[in-house]
Amino acid sequence: MVMDHSQISLQKQQARKQAKQVRKHLHENQRNIAAQHLLRFAPDLIDKFTSSIVAGFLPIFTEIDIIPLMTALAEKHCQLCLPVTPEKPSALCFRAYAPGQELEAGPLNTKHPDASSHQLIPDLVLLPLLAFDMRYNRLGYGGGYYDRTLKKFRESGVDVKVVGVAYSGQQVDKVPVTSTDEPMDGVLTPEGLMLP
């Protein structure tokens, strides 16, 4: 049975609601331990993706905290950058970031480096998600920012690799997807780096 776009949108809304509940039930101590466990996999990310410019994210709500991981990547000589969320739905841009750098507020509860930071094109994007499946599909918040960005990079020939970062409990059997959803190249959880 082929579903139309509105049916898939409804499935996504329901899946987002369930996924938010999963994260909400994690205690702060569990979230802190998960963030520390990610550190073990900094060398794997560098080895598997030969990354020199890594885009990360600052966690909002109950997203997994990758700041310790980003700090470890910086110590291994990776140049870090963070996304700048535009006011209107379009592609993200990425600005250079150093751990501890002062940031400015952006739309949708985000923070990013100010305009004086150099704009960069990452070769590895670590991205947040609400849910993922083992087909490396990702359920985001529904704004489409990362999907538009990844499509733009891929269509222009930029060889960007994408790894979703999540708690293990965010894995589901199947993420509802449409033709506008861009797949990931892997998923990193506190238990390890999963690749196709």
**111 touches 84 (CB < 8 A):** no
**Residues in contact with 57: Cβ distance below 8 Å, sequence separation at least 6, in sequence order:** 63, 66, 82, 83, 126, 127, 128
Mean pLDDT value across residues 22-47: 90
Mean pLDDT value across residues 169-190: 94
DSSP state letters, 114-182: -TTSPEE--SEEEE--SEE-TT--EE--SS-HHHHHHHHHHHTT---EEEEE--GGGB-S-----TTPP
What region does 73 belong to: left with phi over 0, alpha with psi -120 to 50, or beta? alpha
Range of the domain at 111: 5-194
The 10s digit of each residue's pLDDT in 136-178 is: 999 998 889 999 999 999 999 999 999 999 999 999 999 999 8
Give the strand pairing for 93-97 and 131-132.
unpaired
Q: What is the Cα–Cα distance from 24 to 150, expressed in whole angstroms?
A: 28
**Residues in contact with 34: Cβ distance below 8 Å, sequence separation at least 6, in sequence order:** 26, 64, 65, 167, 190
What is the pLDDT, as a whole number, of residue 1? 46
Q: What is the Cα–Cα distance from 54 to 74, expressed in whole angstroms?
A: 9
Q: What is the Cα–Cα distance from 154 to 182, expressed in whole angstroms?
A: 10
Number of domains in the chain: 1
**144 touches 152 (CB < 8 A):** no
Indicate which CATH number applies to the domain containing 81: 3.40.50.10420
Mean pLDDT value across residues 20-48: 89
What is the pLDDT, as a whole number, of residue 133? 96
What is the pLDDT confidence band of residue 102, given thresholds at 50, 70 and 90? very high
